[in-house]
Homo-oligomer: A and B are copies of this chain.
Amino acid sequence: MTSGGSQLVMPEDVIDASEWHVLSPDQLASLFDKTHCRYYEPGEMVFCEGDANRGVHFIGVGLVGVRREDANGNSVLMRLAAESDTLGYRSFLTNGPYQASAEVLQPSKICFFSKAVLHELLHDNPEFGLEIMRRALRDLANVERRLHQTITWSVRARFAHLLLVMRERYGRAGENGGIQLEFPITRSDMASMIGVRPESLSRIIRQMSEEGLLSVSGRHAVVPDVERLTEEVSLSSNHSG
């Protein structure tokens, strides 16, 4: 009975894995009382770069891509957000416009929490503020690591690393210790994530396939030997490695 009249619209484990787990049952109930959740279809925008922030979005289920556009309109997929992720907390706290767009990539259920509700929470629950700070610090560490990798690693290494990262959420065990993987995003998006053109990624994939590192068909991939992929990340970090 976490909530009085309204049903709790998110499973508990999704909340427990998020920033929101520090809220008391009462706070959670009143939060979801005032929230408005809905389903999104792929292609829908949750919010757009440059728009004014009105609150934060919480992903209950699904997949959202966070993109930035450059001056020529090329979009770069900055990161993926999935269940238990909170979007837009940054521009909410800095009171500035969104720095990126959020586009739904897979059917999703997303809740929206308004600024008013959030400010109330921040005021009532100091632990919640700390939790958000921890989140910011974690994000900061991740982005800085990625910047370093983008600067120092070869394209091959970056792609191999992307595969290993995607494995965590979208991979399953295959045969003989290998893994199977369903790409959640298009080739173009993968390419932009590692900072290359789609054609180059295509060639990298073919090259790796010819070497037996990988076997790809459409969005389905098989990695027979994860060890070799891991080596790839460290070996080809730069050419002389």
Contacts and interface: CB of A to CB of B under 8 A. Distances in A.
Interface of A: 68, 70-72, 74, 76, 78, 90, 93-94, 99, 126, 129-130, 132-134, 136-141, 143-148, 150-152, 192, 195, 234, 237-238, 240-241
Given A70-B237, A71-B241, A140-B143, A76 B148 contact: yes
Contacts of A71: 234, 237, 241
13 contacts: A70-B238, A71-B241, A74-B238, A76-B148, A78-B147, A94-B141, A129-B129, A132-B133, A139-B140, A140-B140, A147-B147, A150-B195, A151-B192
State how many copies of this chain the complex holds. Answer: 2
Nearest to A136: B136
A70 to B, nearest CB: 4
A78 B140 contact: no
A238 B146 CA distance: 21
Contact of A137 (B94, B141, B148): B94
A151 B152 contact: no
A152 B71 CA distance: 10
Contact of A136 (B133, B148, B195, B237): B133
The 10 closest A-B CB pairs, nearest first, are: A151-B195, A70-B152, A136-B136, A133-B133, A140-B140, A147-B147, A143-B143, A68-B148, A143-B144, A94-B137
A94 B134 contact: yes
B137 A137 contact: no
B192 A90 contact: no
B240 A72 contact: yes
A133 B93 contact: yes
Nearest to A146: B147
A158 to B, nearest CB: 10
A87 B78 CA distance: 26
A156 B64 CA distance: 33
Contacts of A145: 99
